[in-house]
């Protein structure tokens, strides 16, 4: 059976863009019975940014509750908190000893920070901690320890999966076949969801609609979506409308066809937004309840995540032993 692995780091409230671009495609893959899904809360990756105890706890539980509310079945997948699987960190150190520093220097995320610092006349590495610098090595460990075949990610993460593949190849070359070479999966059909202001929805732009927003707040946020100044009877171009982009993401195919027709014939923005609200509110009604249920029963979340970590460790321990044996570190099995 092939394995698919992905993680989400708890660095902000999950928004609709994350759902459409990352969570939904991953959940669709998890339903494929021919794949073993290994999905986790990447809390140690989050630590490169989040330094507040309460925030870390709330965001981590929030990610876990989000996966479950949207339908991840922990009995048919391996679902855990990264920090509960110490073997990941042991392997991470081993991989670090095999990673040329230049490989990390070339990682896009790090390069972007250096570039920005240079432009703004600051010290090159200002604001860069070693966790951030070696982020791709920890990610490689997440991927390689589970012999992952596929890694569903956003475009910004492709390079990280390539680094994991390079590290696996180098290790295999020297020590014989050990790690599976992972491939990234990026679905070209996955849309980039715009935010309230029409730019890409992103927590950095403060233009997001958080998942599981209460109906009254959701309504207010929808009313804030920017539109053009065309009148109620004027035809509107659905392909250049944020309202339509949202509608399409959450409505059925028939509803979308019908809405496209209304746009072309002329519909008032107020009415279009009202219909959008109903579609989204219906879509999230049940998941929202489940999400809040888990957030007020975090002991259940702990239980599910601990059971998942047990399953994850049952896979991780034998492979880590094999690696250590090959390195001459583990003498007695």
- Residues interacting with ligand ADP, by CB under 6 A? 17-18, 20-22, 154, 156-157, 192-193, 200-204
Closer residue to ligand ADP, CB minimum distance, 101 or 199: 199
Q: Rule CB under 6 A: choose which of 3, 4, 5, 246 binds ligand TRP.
A: 5
Question: Which of ligand ADP, ligand TRP, none does 151 bind, CB closer than 5 to 8 A by kind?
Answer: ligand TRP
Return d(Cα 304, Cα 309) in angstroms, integer.
9
Question: Which of ligand ADP, ligand TRP, none does 225 bind, CB closer than 5 to 8 A by kind?
Answer: none
Q: Which stretch binds ligand TRP (CB under 6 A): 137-145, 170-178, 200-208, 223-231?
A: 137-145
Question: Which of ligand ADP, ligand TRP, none does 200 bind, CB closer than 5 to 8 A by kind?
Answer: ligand ADP
Is residue 201 part of the contact set for ligand TRP (CB under 6 A)?
no
Is residue 27 part of the contact set for ligand TRP (CB under 6 A)?
no
Closer residue to ligand TRP, CB minimum distance, 139 or 301: 139
Question: Is the distance from CB of 287 to CB of 69 less than 8 angstroms?
Answer: yes
What does the buried/exposed string (b/e) look like for 142-160 if buried means 16 or more CB atoms within 10 Å of the residue's CB?
A: bbbbbbbbbbbbbeebebb
Burial of 328 (0-12, 13-18, 19+ CB in 10 A): exposed
Give the CA count within 13 Å in the CB-facing half-sphere of 36. 12
Smallest distance from the beta carbon of 97 to ligand TRP, in angstroms? Answer: 20
What does the buried/exposed string (b/e) look like for 268-292 if buried means 16 or more CB atoms within 10 Å of the residue's CB?
A: ebeebbebbbebbbeebeebbebbe
Return d(Cα 130, Cα 285) in angstroms, integer.
42
Question: Is the distance from CB of 70 to CB of 303 less than 8 angstroms?
Answer: no
Give the CA count within 13 Å in the CB-facing half-sphere of 30. 24
Question: Which of ligand ADP, ligand TRP, none does 142 bind, CB closer than 5 to 8 A by kind?
Answer: ligand TRP
Closer residue to ligand TRP, CB minimum distance, 79 or 277: 79
Tell me which residue has tokens 């925030």.
55
Q: Rule CB under 6 A: choose which of 84, 87, 142, 213 binds ligand TRP.
A: 142
Q: Which residues bind ligand TRP (CB under 6 A)?
A: 5-7, 9, 42, 45, 139, 142-143, 151, 153, 157, 160
């Amino acid at each position: 059976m092939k394995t698919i692995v992905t993680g989400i780091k708890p660095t902000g409230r999950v928004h609709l863009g994350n759902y459409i671009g990352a969570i939904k495609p991953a959940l669709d893959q998890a339903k494929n019975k021919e794949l073993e899904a290994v999905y986790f809360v990447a809390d140690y990756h989050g630590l490169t940014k989040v330094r507040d105890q309460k925030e870390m706890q709330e965001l981590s539980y929030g990610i876990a509750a989000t996966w479950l509310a949207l339908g991840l079945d922990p009995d048919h997948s391996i679902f855990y908190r990264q920090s509960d699987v110490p073997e990941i960190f042991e392997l991470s150190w081993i991989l670090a000893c095999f990673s040329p520093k230049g490989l990390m220097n070339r990682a896009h995320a790090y390069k972007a920070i250096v570039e920005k610092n240079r432009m703004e006349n600051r010290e090159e590495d200002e604001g860069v901690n070693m966790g951030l610098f070696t982020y791709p090595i920890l990610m490689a460990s997440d991927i390689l320890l589970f012999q992952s075949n596929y890694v569903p990610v956003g475009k910004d993460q492709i390079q990280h999966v390539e680094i994991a593949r390079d590290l696996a190849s180098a290790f295999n070359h020297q020590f014989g076949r050990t790690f599976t070479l992972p491939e990234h999966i990026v679905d070209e059909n996955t849309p980039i969801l715009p935010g309230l202001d029409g730019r890409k929805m992103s927590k950095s732009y403060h233009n997001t609609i958080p998942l599981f927003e209460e109906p009254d707040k959701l309504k207010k946020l929808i009313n804030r979506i920017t539109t053009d100044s065309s009148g109620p009877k004027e035809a509107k171009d659905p392909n250049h409308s944020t309202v339509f982009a949202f509608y399409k993401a959450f409505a059925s195919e028939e509803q979308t066809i019908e809405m496209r027709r209304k746009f072309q014939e002329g519909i008032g923005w107020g009415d279009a937004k009202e219909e959008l609200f109903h579609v989204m509110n219906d879509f999230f009604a049940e998941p929202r309840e489940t999400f809040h249920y888990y957030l007020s029963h975090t002991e259940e979340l702990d239980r599910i995540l601990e059971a998942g970590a047990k399953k994850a460790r049952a896979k991780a321990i034998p492979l880590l032993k094999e690696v250590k044996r090959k390195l001459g570190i583990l003498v007695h099995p």
